[in-house]
């Protein structure tokens, strides 16, 4: 692996792994994590865009993603982590798996 984007996989995957392009380190790189945040903020803004709240209490990062969808139930997902990129990724994974 090279820093800044994975170009190969190491391990026994029971077959051949093929990667197309670089894979960003979303959970450790803040620039890559902001790409995740932008996925929740549509452009142009719809009538009810999602709300993302980020708070640091001096110890942990808290991220809340509120998904507002027209004609669907609103949903709120929260996550915490020691680092902001990881908290963003955890909240995003909860939001898309709901």
pTM exceeds 0.75 for this model: no
Record the tokens describing residue 24, joined without a space: 């960003």
> Average pLDDT for residues 49-54, to the nearest whole number?
74
Give 83's contacts (C-beta < 8 A, 6+ positions apart).
27, 28, 61
Q: What is the pLDDT of residues 3-40, one digit of tens each?
A: 455 455 555 556 666 666 677 889 999 999 988 887 77
Average pLDDT estimate for 35-60: 75
Domain ranges across the chain: 1-98
Reported as a pLDDT band with limits 50, 70 and 90, residue 79 is: very high
CATH 3.30.160 given to domain 1-98: yes
Residue 96 scores a pLDDT above 60? yes
Share of the chain above pLDDT 70, in %: 60
Predicted local distance difference test score (pLDDT) of residue 71 = 43
């Amino acid at each position: 692996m090279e820093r800044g984007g994975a170009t190969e996989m190491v391990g026994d995957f029971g077959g051949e792994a093929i990667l197309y392009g670089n894979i960003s380190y979303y959970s450790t790189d803040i620039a890559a994590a902001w790409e995740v945040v932008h996925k929740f903020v549509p452009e142009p803004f719809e009538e009810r865009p999602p709300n993302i709240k980020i708070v640091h209490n001096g110890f942990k990062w808290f991220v809340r993603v509120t998904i507002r969808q027209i004609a669907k139930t609103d949903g709120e997902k929260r996550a915490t982590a020691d680092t902001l990129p990881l908290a963003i990724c955890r909240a995003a994974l909860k939001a898309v798996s709901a």
